[in-house]
Amino acid sequence: MSLIGVLTEANHENYLNQEAKKIINQDQIFFLNENCIKNVKNITFETILLGKKIEKNKKDIVKIIEKAENLIFNTDIIENIELLNNLHLKLITYGFNLKSTITTSSISENEIIVCLQRGIQNIKGEKIEPQELQMNIKNYNNSYEVMELVSLKLLYTEYKKP
């Protein structure tokens, strides 16, 4: 069973937990925080989602990321960019940065259009072409948690061409 480690803002966890269980076995997802990193540094996660500013235990977090195959990374958190040095893994970036793999192209009250700006490969080896994805959503706090969910969805679900 592949494990997914999620380091995100505390207010994103409830939404991600609720929505991710629709696409990923809940036993695979571990919500991490900087205080528990030393306890999980020997666990190998297939994917790490890094969506919050890291202020402590950076070396331990880098060791965890180095063992992962995939990293989903919020490029709008500039302070975390240094964590990417010398990593050799599949990287999916998200944020409002023009160079992010995943960004938003339209936001309204009940809908977000998320843009996959360049192709990626999911865990089954399927290539996912650039496209826009319409997300009808409810009960979300901000666009970042939706982009985190879309990143996980693209990586862990079977690809169906639009």
Q: Give residue 159's pLDDT.
A: 64
Q: Could you give the CA distance from residue 81 to residue 46 in angstroms, rounded to a whole number?
A: 20
Q: Give residue 131's pLDDT.
A: 93
CA angle 151, 156, 160 (to 5 degrees): 90
Residue 80 lies in a domain: yes
What mean pLDDT do residues 13-29 have? 86
What mean pLDDT do residues 5-27 have? 87
Residue 162 lies in a domain: no
Residue 54 lies in a domain: yes
Q: Could you give the CA distance from residue 149 to residue 14 in angstroms, rounded to a whole number?
A: 12
Locate 120 and state its tokens.
Answer: 């990626």
Dihedral sign (CA 88, 90, 95, 100): positive
Within 10 angstroms of residue 35's Cβ, the number of other Cβ atoms is 9
CATH number of the domain where residue 40 is located: 3.40.1190.10
pTM of the full structure: 0.92
Residue 24 lies in a domain: yes
Ranking 2-6, 32-36, 52-56, 133-137 by mean pLDDT, the lowest is: 133-137
CB 3 within 8 A of CB 43: yes
Q: Which domain holds residue 19?
A: 4-156
**Nearest C-alpha neighbor of 5 from the set 50, 67, 52, 54:** 50
Residue 161 lies in a domain: no
Residue 37 lies in a domain: yes
CB 40 within 8 A of CB 62: no
Residue 75 lies in a domain: yes
Residues 6+ apart with CB under 8 A from 112: 104, 106, 135, 137, 143, 146
Residue 91 lies in a domain: yes
Query: What is the total count of domains within the chain?
Result: 1
CB 69 within 8 A of CB 90: yes
